[in-house]
């Protein structure tokens, strides 16, 4: 009886370990630049230009038990500042909202705004500096079937559809 009980537990553990990867969401998103969600005075920075914005799906196993996917986004551009003040991207402001109240046409809109900081550096001659970084970001589906996502950075827009299955 004892052997049967131990064998049953072992079989149950194996079954759970095989099913579990499909039930949980993606691993924690990796970021090169910290993401923030609080507004600040920096929202429109005339000293920064966004040149490119790319979005890719890293992991999306949407199912009955998983409603999260992981995307990566790469933002590149230029920043300008005066001599003695070296610019850098300190963080990225992330805003998420739904567009359209009609659930059949709903879109999940994610807006990414890089935040330029400066640090004192007497060797910095001033002028324009290039930047580029890639972050991962987790998104959640909001209905069964096709879920539309719009990713925005400056005037650059990318749309992706992820399918949530039962």
**29 vs 62: which has the higher pLDDT:** 62
Q: Label residue 10 by pLDDT band (50, 70, 90).
A: very low
Strands 68-81 and 107-120: unpaired
Mean pLDDT of 98-125: 91
Residue 132 dihedral angles phi and psi, to the nearest 5°: -160, 135
Is pLDDT at 40 greater than 60 in this prediction? yes
Answering whether pTM is above 0.85, one says no
pLDDT digits (tens, 9 = 90+) for 130-161: 999 999 999 999 999 999 999 999 999 999 99
Position with higher pLDDT, 30 vs 12: 30
Residue 18 is classified by DSSP as: H
pLDDT at 42: 63
User: Is the predicted pLDDT of residue 89 greater than 90, yes or no?
Assistant: yes
Task: Pick 84 or 10 by higher pLDDT.
Answer: 84
d(CA 112, CA 106): 19
Phi-psi sector, 27: left (phi>0), alpha (psi -120 to 50), beta: beta
User: Where are any strands of DSSP class E within 5-155?
Assistant: 35-36, 48-60, 68-81, 85-99, 107-120, 127-140, 145-153
Banded pLDDT at 2 (limits 50, 70, 90): low
Is the pLDDT at 28 greater than 90? The verdict is no
Residue 62 has pLDDT above 90, yes or no: yes
């Amino acid at each position: 009886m004892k052997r049967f009980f131990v064998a049953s537990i072992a079989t149950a553990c194996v079954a759970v370990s095989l099913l579990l990867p499909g039930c949980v969401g993606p691993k924690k998103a990796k970021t090169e630049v910290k993401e923030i969600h609080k507004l600040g005075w920096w929202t429109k920075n005339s000293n920064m230009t966004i040149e490119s914005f790319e979005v890719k799906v890293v992991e999306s196993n949407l199912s009955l038990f998983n409603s999260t996917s992981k995307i990566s986004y790469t933002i590149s551009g230029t920043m300008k500042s005066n001599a003695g003040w070296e610019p850098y991207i300190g963080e990225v402001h992330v805003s998420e909202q739904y567009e359209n109240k009609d659930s059949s046409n709903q879109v999940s809109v994610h807006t990414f705004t890089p935040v330029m900081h400066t640090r004192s550096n007497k060797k910095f001659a001033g002028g324009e500096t290039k930047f580029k970084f890639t972050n991962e970001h987790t998104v959640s589906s909001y209905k069964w079937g096709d879920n539309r996502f719009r990713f925005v950075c400056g005037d650059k827009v990318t749309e992706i559809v992820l399918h949530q299955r039962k």
